[in-house]
Structures are given as structure tokens and as C-alpha cells.
């Protein structure tokens, strides 16, 4: 279970408050979506939860299955089952995708006191998962994300998720830059990981991803807060009317969005 | 005071130079050159960033040999081993100097009738203009040992020059001459620290369509001081490729002077240097000069340094394109990854172009570990130190890629990983 309470975050280097009291409880096995205009703080929330530098938590807390996320190193959070599919996956020249995946998996296993996976088992695992995401062997051999198209990068994020088998997956705009086919591949990949216990926090600007990955709960975020929470119908409402009406209702100036 | 006491260290060093037998005229000419130019001082343009004092001193600064527990480098490769112990040929430890397609002899046994006498010191002499390289002249004059290698065919088996350092005060001066006849091919491997102080010169004549591969690993000794000079002449359609891995070492200066004299020739030189000055100093200098004197030549310089705890790196690289060397393609990149704020990288990239239809580019960067990439790796569960090591390998990848043969590339990567594992945080 992910529990975020009254989370306030500002930039470390600047006097700029970005999250202004986020509350969110995500139970095991559930899919929550966060929608919201650009600049509302969605990515910031995902970064703070996964431990990126540059932010200062001024108030509030966040726990994942009892682990105080805000005090743990990013690698500890990962080993505890947190995974962030990046909005902009990072290119790492000179490091093979396979090396990267194996190092990540074994690091997590080691941190959890589990034995390392054998080279043979690892190969089998990757081949199987890659196949369902239509990731070819060539892409696995290349350096991490280097020369990948936008869609390939996003599929590679889902591949990592499939291999690392996290308990809590945060997807930050995984749909951005994807065409219809790529979106289907990615959504199918995510849906295949829905097993009744794994949880998802799906951040998206548009409703269309939620046609494929059906959320249990939809939150609307604006100006660093969750301003509305509802069922899937809330996403449809936003799709139809845009964010303007909602922002108005909560007295948030449009230029904030 | 006696005359000796009044001498400067440089004068004392010059006064001690003795000329071994063989290659007499070349040695005497080298000594004349040396006396005329003198040993370098800090005011010399190319010695501003590297202090030559320890290289000039009449006696080497004592340096403890380093004993490592790693398997022998290139140990899995079938190769012809030629071993020098503190700068002296070790017949016992060396293989028979017999290899099909190659003639190998020792410099110390060569008399003036040898094929090499017309070559010994020639390329070094050519490399003295326009920038003087006094230590190379000193080497030509006084080197007592080395190998003379004449390659007549395509040789599969690499020749491995192995330099062992055992004595705390050894002063190794070795001079090799390698001549590749038309269409010949060979790989020369060099590894080891060579001595407490070493001055190693290699002259390489690459004839038409010949291919020369060179991979060098300069040992793990922390205290050794080393100066190397490669002087190569690259003829029409020929290939020269050299890669150097340096880790540790109180002082390293690797000079490489490449002269493209025939059309359609390739000259590639690359290096990866890793230094951690936590317990002992590390200073590493690559000084390169590539001259394009013919058409459609392609040259590449790819140098990467990883520096931590106050380690120092220097790169001085020049591309000179002579009049008429049209369609030259010259590329140069030098980059340093500083793992802390105490380390320092100084770079002087130079281009001098006298032909109008050429393509030359150079770049130099100094940077720290990319925080975004580091976070990406850590977010996948990879601990900081391991993630940093991966990013260092990522940084070095372009230089390693310059090694053509995969088996050597893999071996170099293994050594890099070993170094990174030993130098975490
Ligand atoms: N590192 C940063 N430096 C400067 N501004 C930032 C930084 N991170 C976030 N912001 C600002 O915080 C606000 C929220 O950004 P973000 O979390 O990326 O929003 P979203 O993902 O909802 O589009 C924006 O105004 C953005 O410009
Ligand atoms: Mg965002």
C-alpha cells in the first residue's frame, strides 16, 4: 500500500513550492490515475516518491508497505518494490541494455537477500518478456535507450518493469509520443502485469491511455494538489470539458495550468 | 666546488649519456640533436602542464614495484612474448624470437648491417619538427635494448612486449623499431610498468597497404614514472591503430607523432586513463601530433580520462594539414570525467590547416557524472557506487570502441572493471 499524507515539496535551489499538500492512498492491486494540466506537479510527485535529488520535502510523509520512502535511498525504494517508468527515459551510451537489466535485477535481489539470477535463467526471462512487448534481440544488445525511438524507449521502460516485477509501478506519461499501435503494446504490457496485488499509479495528460489501462480511481491534480477524486467517469468528464471548468470550480487561475 | 656540483640536473643527465654499440651514426646524431636542444623546462610550450623534473633527474626517483594478483594480461592469447626486466631483455622469460612472416632481433645485438640501421632514429628525427622532443633523442642516443621487428606478411600471432618492474631504482630506456613491408599486418601488445622510470620509444614504419595494430596497458604500478614516444610513418592505403590503457602511475607522458605520407591512409590513436590520487599522485599526459601530408587521409584521436581525488590529466593534441593534403578527415576528441572537485584536466586542442578542402573537428569537455543518468540507474535498484562504475564505463566506451579486435576490447573492459571495483568512492 502506498500512503501519501499532506506532502509539501519545494525546489531545493529555489523558493518555489511545487506540491502543496498531496494526499493519496493506493491499495494493493488497484490502479489509480492522476490527470492534470501541464505543470501541476505530477512528475514532481513521481520523482519525489522515487528519490530524485533537487527537491525538499517541507511537510508530510510517504510510505510504501511500511517503508518510509522519504528517508530511503532511491535504490532502497526500488528494492522495496517501487518502480518509476520515466516520462523521459535516459540514454546511457556504452552500457548494454542486457548488462543494465541484469545489474538492476541482481542489485535488487541482493538487497532483498535473494540469490543472483543465473545467466541462463536471466536470458530466458528477458527473451520471454521482450517477445510480448515486441522488443527484438537487436534492441536488447544496444546501449540503454541510445538510438531508440520514442516508442521503443517507452516499451523498454515497460520491459524493465516486467523483469523487475515491482509491487508499486508509477507510469509518468508513458503514453506521450506514442502512436496507436505503440500505445496498445505498452498498455497490453502493463495490463499483463496486473495480477490483483500489484498497484499502479498512472500519470497522464490525456484520457486515451485510460481506455486501455482501466483505472479504479481517477485523481485530478492542479497547482500541486489533488483537487478532485472520482471513478473512471471523471477522466471522461475531463476529456469532454477540459480542465477549465474544474480549475474554475477550485479557484485556480488558468495561467497556473 | 667542483665542476660536477655546479651542474644543473639537466647538464648532469646529459653528461652521463653514453652511446652503446651499434647504430653508431644514428646515436651520435641523436646526441648532437639532444645537446643542441637541451632537456625541457617548464617554460617550454609543451611542458607547461607536466613537470619534467623527475624525467630529467640524473637518477630516477625510487619507485616500489607493485605486485598484483590478476591473471597475466593477454594470457589467453597465443602470442610471442618478449620480456624486459627493468629495461633489460630477459631471454629466459621470453619466447624464441621466431615467428613466421616476421624477423625479430634485439637492438643490443644488431650491428650496423641490419635492415634497421637505415631506420633507427629516422622517424624520431622527423618527429622533432616542428616540436622538439628531447627525451626521444636521449632515448635514441642511449637505449641499450629494444627489439627490431620487420614484418613481411600478415601475421596472426601478436607480438607481446612485456615490461617487468622489479628494482626500486631501475631506469629503463628501450627503443623499438618496427617495419611493416607492403601489405603486411601485425598486432603489437605492450604491457607493464617497465621500471621505476621508463623512457620507451617505438618507431613504426607502415608501408603501403600495411596494417599496424597496437594495444598497450601501462601496468598498475602507482609510483613509476614513464615517458613514451611513438613515431610512425604511414604510407599509402595503410592503417595505424594504437590504443593505450593507463591506470595508476605517478607520472605518465605518452607522446604520439604520426606522419601520414601516402594517400588514403588511416591513423587512429586512442587512450583511456584512470587515476585516483587518494594515496599517491597521478599525473597523466597525452601529447599527440598528427601530420596529414597526403590526400584523403583520415585521422582520429579519442582520449578519455577518469580522474579522482586530485588526479591530474593533460591532453595536447594537434592536427596539422599540409598544403595539398586535400580531402583530409581529421577528428579529435578529449574528455575528462572528474569524480570530485579536486581533480583537474587541462586540454589544448590545436588545428593547423593549409589545405582548403578538408574536414577537421575537435572537441574537449570536462564534466562530472551525469546526475540524471545516475538517478535513472539508482531508481532501478543499482547502488550508487555500482551505478557510478557503469557510468564511467559508459564514458570510456568511445575510446574502447577504437580497439578493432573484440578479444582485446573485452580484456581491456575487464581490467577497467577491476580498477573501478578497487577504487570505489
Ligand atoms: N527541477 C526543476 N526546476 C525548476 N522548476 C521545476 C523543476 N521541477 C519542476 N519544476 C516546476 O514545477 C512545476 C511542476 O512541474 P512538473 O512536476 O513537471 O509538472 P507536470 O508533470 O504535472 O507537468 C512546473 O511549474 C515546473 O516548471
Ligand atoms: Mg510531467
Per-domain residue ranges for chain B?
3-369
Distance CA B173, CA B178 (A): 17
Distance CA A134, CA A127 (A): 10
Do A92 and B395 count as a contact with CB atoms less than 8 A apart?
Answer: no
Q: How far is the CA of A156 from the centre of ligand 1 (A)?
A: 24
Residues with CB under 5 A from ligand 2 (ion): A 43
- A-chain residues within 8 Å CB-CB of B393? 94-95
Q: So what's the pLDDT on residue B324?
A: 97
pLDDT of A201 above 70: yes
Q: CB distance from B398 to chain A under 8 Å?
A: yes
Q: CB distance from B377 to chain A under 8 Å?
A: yes
With a 6 Å cutoff on the Cβ, whether A44 touches ligand 1 is: yes
Q: So what's the pLDDT on residue B112?
A: 63
- Answer for the pair B350, B287: CB distance below 8 angstroms, yes or no: no
Q: What is the dotted CATH code of the domain comprising A2-249?
A: 3.40.50.300
Nearest neighbour of A104 by CB, restricted to B380, B393, B394 = B380
Q: So what's the pLDDT on residue B4?
A: 53
pLDDT of A214 above 50: yes
pLDDT < 50 stretches in chain B: 1
Locate the chain B residue with the closest alpha carbon to A50. Answer: B379
Calculate how close chain B gets to A204, using CA atoms only, in Å. 20
Which residue's CA lies nearest to atom 3 of ligand 1? A11
Do B386 and A74 count as a contact with CB atoms less than 8 A apart?
Answer: no
Stretch A227-245: mean pLDDT: 92
Q: How far is the CA of A18 from the centre of ligand 2 (A)?
A: 12
| Best residue in B270, B379, B383, B401 for a mutation probing chain A (most A CBs within 10 Å) | B379
- B-chain residues within 8 Å CB-CB of A111? 381, 383
Cα four-point dihedral sign A148, A153, A159, A164? positive
- Answer for the pair A236, A33: CB distance below 8 angstroms, yes or no: no
Ligand with an atom nearest the CA of residue A52: 1
Do A95 and B390 count as a contact with CB atoms less than 8 A apart?
Answer: yes
Residue A121 CB partners (closer than 8 Å, separation 6+)? none
Q: So what's the pLDDT on residue B202?
A: 98
Which residue's CA lies nearest to atom 27 of ligand 1? A39
Do A92 and B380 count as a contact with CB atoms less than 8 A apart?
Answer: no
HEC string of chain A? Answer: CEEEEEEEEEECCCCCEEEEEEEEEECCCCEEEEECCCCCCHHHHHHHHHCCCCEEEEEEEEEECCEEHHHCCHHHHHHCCEEEECCCCCCEEEEEHHHHHHHHHHHHHHHCCCCCCCHHHHHHHHHHHHHHCCCCHHHHHCEECCCCCHHHHHHHHHHHHHHHCCCEEEEECCCCCCCHHHHHHHHHHHHHCCCCCCEEEEEECCCCHHHHCCCCEEEEEECCEEEEEECHHHHHHHHHHCCHHHHHHCCCCHHHC
Residue with cell 652521463: B16
> Which CB contacts under 8 angstroms, 24+ apart, belong to B15-21?
B16/B58, B17/B138, B17/B141, B17/B142, B18/B142, B19/B141, B19/B142, B20/B108, B20/B142, B20/B143, B20/B144, B21/B111
pLDDT of A206 above 90: no
Calculate how close chain A gets to B420, using CA atoms only, in Å. 15
Nearest neighbour of A86 by CB, restricted to B376, B381, B383 = B376
Stretch A180-204: mean pLDDT: 93
Which residue's CA lies nearest to atom 18 of ligand 1? A43
- pLDDT by residue (tens digit) across A89-123? 999 999 999 999 999 999 999 999 999 999 999 99
Pocket test for ligand 1, best of A13, A18, A34 (most atoms within 8 A of CB): A18
- Answer for the pair A155, A185: CB distance below 8 angstroms, yes or no: yes
Q: How far is the CA of A87 from the centre of ligand 2 (A)?
A: 7
Vertex A151 angle, CA A150 and A156, to 5°: 100
Q: So what's the pLDDT on residue B346?
A: 98
| Best residue in B302, B374, B376, B380 for a mutation probing chain A (most A CBs within 10 Å) | B380
With a 6 Å cutoff on the Cβ, whether A36 touches ligand 1 is: yes
Ligand with an atom nearest the CA of residue A40: 1
- A-chain residues within 8 Å CB-CB of B390? 92, 95, 99-100, 103
Distance CA A4, CA A224 (A): 13
**Phi/psi-derived region of residue B259, left when phi > 0, alpha when psi is between -120 and 50, beta in every other case:** beta
- pLDDT by residue (tens digit) across A149-166? 988 999 999 999 999 999
- Answer for the pair A82, A166: CB distance below 8 angstroms, yes or no: yes
Q: So what's the pLDDT on residue B111?
A: 74
Ligand with an atom nearest the CA of residue A86: 2
pTM here is 0.93
Q: So what's the pLDDT on residue B165?
A: 97
Distance CA A174, CA A189 (A): 12
Q: How far is the CA of A66 from the centre of ligand 1 (A)?
A: 28
Ligand with an atom nearest the CA of residue A37: 1
Distance CA B198, CA B257 (A): 18
- A-chain residues within 8 Å CB-CB of B377? 92, 100, 104
Domain limits, chain A: 2-249
Locate the chain A residue with the closest alpha carbon to B370. Answer: A92
Core vs surface per residue B101-127: b (16+ CB within 10 A) or e: bbbbbbbeebeeebebbebbbbbbbeb
Backbone torsions φ then ψ of B40, nearest 5 degrees? -75, 155
Amino acid at each position: 500500500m502506498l500512503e501519501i499524507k499532506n506532502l509539501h515539496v519545494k525546489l531545493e535551489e529555489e523558493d518555489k513550492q511545487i506540491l502543496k499538500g498531496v494526499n493519496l492512498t493506493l491499495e494493493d492491486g488497484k490502479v489509480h490515475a492522476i490527470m492534470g494540466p501541464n505543470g501541476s506537479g505530477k512528475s514532481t510527485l513521481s520523482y519525489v516518491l522515487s528519490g530524485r535529488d533537487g527537491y525538499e520535502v517541507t511537510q508530510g510523509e510517504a510510505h510504501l508497505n511500511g517503508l518510509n520512502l522519504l528517508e530511503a535511498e532511491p535504490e532502497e525504494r526500488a528494492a522495496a518494490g517501487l518502480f518509476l517508468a520515466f516520462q523521459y527515459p535516459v540514454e546511457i551510451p556504452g552500457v548494454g541494455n542486457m548488462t543494465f537489466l541484469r545489474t538492476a535485477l541482481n542489485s535488487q535481489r541482493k538487497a532483498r537477500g535473494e540469490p543472483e539470477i543465473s545467466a541462463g535463467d536471466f536470458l530466458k526471462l528477458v527473451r520471454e518478456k521482450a517477445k510480448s512487448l515486441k522488443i527484438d534481440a537487436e534492441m536488447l544488445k544496444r546501449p540503454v535507450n541510445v538510438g531508440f525511438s520514442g516508442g521503443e524507449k517507452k516499451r523498454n521502460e515497460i520491459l524493465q518493469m516486467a523483469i523487475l516485477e515491482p509491487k508499486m509501478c508509477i507510469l509518468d506519461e508513458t503514453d506521450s509520443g506514442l502512436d496507436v499501435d505503440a500505445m496498445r503494446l505498452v498498455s497490453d504490457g502493463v495490463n499483463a502485469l496486473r495480477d490483483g496485488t500489484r498497484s499502479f499509479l498512472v500519470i497522464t495528460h490525456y484520457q486515451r491511455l485510460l481506455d486501455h489501462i482501466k483505472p479504479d480511481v481517477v485523481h485530478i491534480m492542479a497547482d500541486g494538489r489533488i483537487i478532485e477524486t472520482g471513478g473512471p467517469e471523471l477522466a471522461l468528464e475531463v476529456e469532454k470539458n477540459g480542465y477549465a471548468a474544474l480549475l474554475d470550480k477550485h479557484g485556480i487561475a488558468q495561467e497556473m495550468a | 666546488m667542483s665542476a660536477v656540483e655546479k651542474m644543473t640536473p639537466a647538464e648532469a643527465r646529459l653528461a652521463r649519456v653514453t652511446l652503446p654499440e651499434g647504430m653508431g651514426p644514428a646515436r651520435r646524431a641523436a646526441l648532437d640533436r639532444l645537446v643542441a636542444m637541451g632537456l625541457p623546462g617548464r617554460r617550454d610550450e609543451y611542458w607547461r602542464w607536466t613537470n619534467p623534473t623527475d624525467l630529467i633527474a640524473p637518477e630516477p626517483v625510487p619507485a616500489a614495484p607493485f605486485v598484483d594478483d590478476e591473471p597475466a594480461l593477454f594470457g589467453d592469447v597465443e602470442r610471442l612474448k618478449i620480456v624486459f626486466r627493468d629495461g633489460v631483455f630477459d631471454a629466459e622469460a621470453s619466447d624464441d624470437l621466431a615467428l613466421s612472416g616476421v624477423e625479430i632481433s634485439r637492438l643490443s645485438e644488431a650491428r650496423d648491417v641490419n635492415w634497421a640501421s637505415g631506420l633507427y632514429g629516422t622517424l624520431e628525427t622527423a618527429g622533432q619538427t616542428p616540436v622538439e622532443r628531447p627525451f626521444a633523442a636521449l632515448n635514441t642516443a642511449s637505449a641499450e635494448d629494444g627489439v627490431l621487428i620487420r614484418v613481411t606478411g600478415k601475421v596472426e600471432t601478436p607480438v607481446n612486449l612485456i615490461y617487468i618492474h622489479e628494482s626500486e631504482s631501475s631506469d629503463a630506456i628501450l627503443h623499438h623499431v618496427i617495419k611493416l613491408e607492403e601489405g603486411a599486418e601485425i598486432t603489437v601488445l605492450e604491457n607493464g610498468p617497465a621500471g621505476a622510470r621508463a623512457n620507451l620509444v617505438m618507431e613504426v614504419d607502415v608501408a603501403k597497404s600495411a596494417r599496424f595494430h597496437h594495444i598497450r596497458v601501462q601496468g598498475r604500478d602507482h609510483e613509476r614514472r614513464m615517458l613514451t614516444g611513438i613515431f610512425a610513418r604511414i604510407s599509402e592505403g595503410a592503417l595505424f591503430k594504437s590504443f593505450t590503457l593507463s591506470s595508476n602511475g605517478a607520472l605518465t607522458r605518452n607522446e604520439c607523432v604520426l606522419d601520414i605520407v601516402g594517400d588514403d591512409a588511416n591513423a587512429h590513436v586512442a587512450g583511456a586513463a584512470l587515476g585516483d590520487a587518494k594515496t599517491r599522485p597521478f599525473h597523466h599526459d597525452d601529447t599527440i601530433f598528427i601530420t596529414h601530408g597526403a590526400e584523403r587521409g583520415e585521422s582520429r584521436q579519442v582520449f578519455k580520462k577518469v580522474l579522482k581525488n586530485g588526479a591530474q590529466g593533460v591532453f595536447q593534441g594537434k592536427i596539422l594539414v599540409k598544403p595539398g593534403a586535400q580531402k583530409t578527415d581529421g577528428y579529435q576528441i578529449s574528455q575528462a570525467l572528474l569524480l570530485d572537485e579536486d581533480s583537474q584536466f587541462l586540454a589544448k586542442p590545436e588545428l593547423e590547416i593549409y589545405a582548403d578542402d578538408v574536414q577537421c573537428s575537435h572537441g574537449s569537455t570536462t564534466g562530472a557524472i551525469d546526475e540524471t543518468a545516475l538517478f535513472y540507474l539508482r531508481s532501478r535498484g543499482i547502488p550508487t557506487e555500482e551505478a557510478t562504475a557503469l557510468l564511467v564505463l559508459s564514458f570510456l566506451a568511445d575510446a574502447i570502441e577504437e580497439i578493432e579486435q573484440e578479444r582485446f576490447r573485452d580484456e581491456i573492459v575487464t581490467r577497467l572493471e577491476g580498477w573501478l571495483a578497487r577504487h570505489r568512492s
